[in-house]
């Protein structure tokens, strides 16, 4: 396993190499200086999506939502609380499926809210329906744990 990760900047979408052991040290983007792993969700559009979900190694949890969706609005504070609990190991982003309909279609988003967890450039899991903060955190950690390679005892 590599001792560094490719992390995309939530502001300029530049890819940055960060030592895994330093992820919790509030690393900043080499291009724009923004914090790479904020403890609040950031808006993600189709233009920056691949930089974060496909071409980056670090874990990313995306909330696909729409402004007119009641359950999406209800879950928004829980998603923000989950961001604080999961940072800096997991970044949280929000994709407005109304504004980014092509991206939602590309990923097969059929209902909202839908959470999709990415790591290592691939989708690990998805879950539809509103969830409280603690359930979001537990689900995310369980999915990351399940995706971790099993190491033999020595």
Catalytic residues: 69, 72
Q: How buried is residue 5: exposed, middle or buried, by Cβ count under 10 Å (0-12/13-18/19+)?
A: buried
Report yes or no: 124 and 136 within 8 Å, Cβ to Cβ. Answer: no
Question: Taking the CA atoms of the chain, what radius of gyration do you get in angstroms?
Answer: 15
Report yes or no: 141 and 117 within 8 Å, Cβ to Cβ. Answer: no
Distance of CA 40 to the CA centre of its chain: 11
Beta bridge partners of 94: 43, 63
Report yes or no: 65 and 103 within 8 Å, Cβ to Cβ. Answer: no
């Amino acid at each position: 396993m590599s001792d560094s990760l490719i992390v995309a900047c939530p502001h300029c979408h530049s890819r940055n190499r960060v030592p895994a052991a330093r992820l919790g040290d509030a690393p900043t983007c080499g291009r724009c200086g923004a914090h790479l792993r904020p403890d609040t969700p950031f808006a993600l559009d189709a233009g920056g999506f691949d930089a974060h979900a496909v071409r980056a190694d670090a874990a990313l949890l995306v909330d696909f939502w729409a402004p007119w969706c009641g359950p999406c609005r209800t879950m928004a504070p829980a998603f923000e609380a989950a961001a604080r609990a999961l940072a800096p190991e997991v970044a949280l982003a929000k994709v407005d499926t109304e504004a980014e309909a092509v991206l939602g279609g590309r990923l097969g988003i059929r209902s909202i809210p839908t959470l999709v967890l990415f790591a290592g450039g691939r989708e690990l899991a998805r879950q539809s329906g509103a969830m409280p903060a603690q359930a979001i955190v537990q689900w995310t950690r369980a999915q990351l744990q399940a995706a971790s390679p099993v190491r033999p005892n020595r």
